[in-house]
């Protein structure tokens, strides 16, 4: 999308081993990485592994040009699948180089970057929805009526073990519970979660 020859790339090449994380979701960029060679996985990296792979890129390739152009945090995780070599360009230099392009080219690049980011954000959003649906279904499967007839769930296991059963990271499980709580679908503190709107929770679960 953007020729690397247009920029004066740093002479220094960073060598990164396979399995190392290059970018984290929601990371605010201070530099732009140009992948010289090797393969990099894009996706959702949780619990020490790439749990959901959304794509793979090979060098030469700008790894994070779209986010840098739009001045937005990075939408996905990036992990080196093989040993890779990258050059790191300060983001201010990258933006100055883009600003020197003709206005028509700048507009085209921003449109392409916007579409690329939208696809990445949609893919991550769908994965999050899938995790939310699994959590909602688990809550419904373990719900019991209390003395007043209201539904509640008692967490007899640690959240980390429950998350493992659901095939998600503990951080994802906690994030989903927080989201459900914010929307009034669960309530309570400690190990007992009340389900004030079981029918709404069924909708989240896709029942």
Domain boundaries of the chain, sorted by first residue = 4-128, 131-205
CA 92 to centroid of chain Cα atoms: 25
Q: How confident is the model at residue 93 (pLDDT cuts 50, 70, 90)?
A: very high
Residue 49 scores a pLDDT above 80: yes
Compute the distance between CA of residue 137 and CA of residue 69 in angstroms, rounded to an integer: 40
Six token digits for residue 30: 């201070």
Per-residue b or e along 165-185, where b marks 16 or more CB atoms closer than 10 Å to that residue's CB:
ebebbbebbebbbebbeeeeb
pTM score, two decimals? 0.64
Average pLDDT over residues 137-156: 89
| Helical (H) or strand (E) element with 139 | helix 103-141
How confident is the model at residue 18, as a pLDDT? 97
Percent of the chain with pLDDT over 70: 96
Q: What pLDDT, on a 0 to 100 scale, did the predictor assign at position 149? A: 79
Residue 8 has pLDDT above 90, yes or no: no
The first and second tokens of residue 13, run together, are: 């090449």
Choose among 173, 22, 154, 157: nearest CA to 84. 22
Alpha-carbon span 32 to 95, nearest angstrom: 10
CATH code of the domain made up of 4-128 = 2.60.120.10
What's the average model confidence in pLDDT over 168-191? 88
Residue 20 scores a pLDDT above 60: yes
CATH of domain 131-205: 1.10.10.10
77 falls in which pLDDT band (50, 70, 90)? very high
Instruction: Based on DSSP, count helices (H) and strands (E) in the chain, helices before strands.
Output: 6, 11
Residue 47 has pLDDT above 80, yes or no: no
């Amino acid at each position: 999308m953007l020729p690397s020859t247009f920029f004066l790339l740093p002479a220094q090449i960073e060598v990164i081993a396979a399995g190392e994380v290059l970018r984290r979701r929601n990371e605010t960029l201070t530099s732009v990485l140009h992948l010289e060679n090797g393969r990099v996985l894009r996706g959702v990296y949780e619990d020490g592994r790439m749990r959901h792979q959304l794509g793979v890129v090979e060098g030469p390739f700008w790894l994070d040009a779209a986010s840098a152009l739009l001045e937005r945090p990075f939408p996905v995780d990036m992990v080196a699948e093989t040993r890779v070599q990258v050059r790191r360009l300060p983001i201010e230099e990258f933006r100055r180089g883009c600003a020197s392009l003709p206005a028509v080219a700048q507009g085209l690049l921003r449109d392409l970057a916007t579409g690329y980011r939208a696809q990445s954000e949609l893919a991550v959003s769908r994965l999050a929805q899938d995790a939310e649906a699994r959590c909602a279904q688990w809550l419904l499967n373990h719900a019991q009526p209390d003395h007043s007839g209201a539904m509640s769930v008692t967490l007899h296991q640690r959240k980390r073990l429950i998350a493992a059963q659901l095939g998600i990271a503990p951080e994802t499980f906690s994030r989903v519970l927080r989201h459900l709580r914010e929307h009034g679908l669960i309530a309570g503190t400690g190990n007992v979660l009340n389900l004030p709107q079981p029918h709404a929770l069924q909708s989240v679960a896709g029942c």
